Chains A and B, each alone.
Chain A
Amino acid sequence: MPRKLKILLAVLGTIVLMVLGNMFLRFHLPPVTVRAEPLPGFVIGSVRITNSLITALLVDIILVVLAVLATRRMQLVPSGLQNFMEFLVETLYNLTHSIAGSKWTPRFFAIVATIFFYVLFSNWFGLLPGLAAVGFCESHAEVAALHQPTIWDRVHERTIARLAAPLPAKEGEKDSHGAYVYWGCQPGEIIVPLFRSPSTDLSSNLALALISVGMTQVFGVMALGARYFTKFFNISGVLRAFRPDASGQRRGCAGMLGTFLFGCIEFFVSILEAVTEVAKLLSFSFRLFGNIFAGEVMLLVLASLMPLVLTLPFIGLELFVGLIQAFIFYVLTLAFFTIATVTHESQGTHSG
Chain B
Amino acid sequence: MDALRPLGIDPALLAAYLINFVLLLFLLRLFLYKPVLTMLEERRRKIQEALAQADKVRQEAELQRAEFQRELEEARRSSQEAANRIAQETEKMRASILEAAQREAELIKAQARQQIELERQQVASELQRQVADLAIEIARKVIGQTVTLDEKVQRQLIRQFLQETGNFS
Interfacial residues, chain A to chain B (CB-CB below 8 A): 34-36, 46-47, 50, 53, 56-57, 60, 63-64, 67-68, 70-71, 74, 76, 78, 85-86, 89-90, 93, 109-111, 113-114, 117-118, 148, 150-153, 198, 201-204, 206-208, 210-211
Closest 6 A-B residue pairs measured CB to CB? A207-B17, A35-B8, A67-B32, A67-B31, A150-B6, A71-B35
Question: Cβ of A86 and Cβ of B20 under 8 Å apart?
Answer: no
Separation of A36 and B10 alpha carbons in the complex (Å):
10
Question: Cβ of B8 and Cβ of A203 under 8 Å apart?
Answer: yes
User: In the complex, how many residue pairs between chain A and chain B have their CB atoms under 8 Å apart?
Assistant: 118
Shortest distance from the beta carbon of B131 to any chain A beta carbon, whole Å: 127
Question: Cβ of A110 and Cβ of B29 under 8 Å apart?
Answer: yes
Separation of A201 and B25 alpha carbons in the complex (Å):
20
Question: Cβ of A203 and Cβ of B13 under 8 Å apart?
Answer: yes
Question: Cβ of B46 and Cβ of A76 under 8 Å apart?
Answer: yes
Separation of A76 and B10 alpha carbons in the complex (Å):
46
Q: Which chain A residues border B75 with CB–CB below 8 Å?
A: none
Given contacts A35-B6, A60-B20, 13 further A-B contacts (CB under 8 A): A34-B6, A50-B13, A60-B24, A63-B32, A67-B27, A67-B28, A71-B31, A110-B28, A114-B24, A150-B6, A201-B8, A206-B9, A207-B14
B40 located at the interface, meaning its Cβ lies under 8 Å from any Cβ of chain A in the complex: yes
B39 located at the interface, meaning its Cβ lies under 8 Å from any Cβ of chain A in the complex: yes
| Residue with the highest number of chain B CB atoms closer than 10 Å, among A198, A206, A207 | A207
Question: Cβ of B28 and Cβ of A76 under 8 Å apart?
Answer: no
Question: Cβ of A71 and Cβ of B32 under 8 Å apart?
Answer: yes
Instruction: Specify the main secondary structure of chain B where it touches its partner.
Output: helix
Question: Cβ of A71 and Cβ of B6 under 8 Å apart?
Answer: no
B43 located at the interface, meaning its Cβ lies under 8 Å from any Cβ of chain A in the complex: yes
Enumerate 29 A-B pairs (CB-CB under 8 Å) in ascending A order: A36-B8, A36-B13, A56-B20, A63-B27, A63-B28, A67-B27, A74-B35, A76-B39, A76-B42, A76-B43, A86-B36, A86-B39, A90-B36, A111-B25, A113-B28, A114-B21, A150-B6, A151-B6, A153-B6, A203-B9, A203-B13, A206-B9, A207-B17, A207-B18, A207-B20, A208-B17, A208-B21, A210-B18, A211-B21
Shortest distance from the beta carbon of A77 to any chain B beta carbon, whole Å: 9
Separation of A36 and B9 alpha carbons in the complex (Å):
9
B142 located at the interface, meaning its Cβ lies under 8 Å from any Cβ of chain A in the complex: no
Q: Which chain B residues border A206 with CB–CB below 8 Å?
A: 9, 14, 17
Residues A71 and B36 in contact in the complex (CB < 8 Å), given A60-B27, A64-B27, A114-B24: yes
B12 located at the interface, meaning its Cβ lies under 8 Å from any Cβ of chain A in the complex: yes
B33 located at the interface, meaning its Cβ lies under 8 Å from any Cβ of chain A in the complex: yes
Separation of A223 and B117 alpha carbons in the complex (Å):
128
B23 located at the interface, meaning its Cβ lies under 8 Å from any Cβ of chain A in the complex: yes
B143 located at the interface, meaning its Cβ lies under 8 Å from any Cβ of chain A in the complex: no
Question: Cβ of A64 and Cβ of B9 under 8 Å apart?
Answer: no
B16 located at the interface, meaning its Cβ lies under 8 Å from any Cβ of chain A in the complex: yes
B153 located at the interface, meaning its Cβ lies under 8 Å from any Cβ of chain A in the complex: no
Q: Which chain A residues border B17 with CB–CB below 8 Å?
A: 53, 56, 198, 203-204, 206-208
Pick the residue among B14, B27, B33 that contacts A89 (CB under 8 A): B33
B7 located at the interface, meaning its Cβ lies under 8 Å from any Cβ of chain A in the complex: yes
Shortest distance from the beta carbon of A54 to any chain B beta carbon, whole Å: 11
Q: Which chain A residues border B149 with CB–CB below 8 Å?
A: none
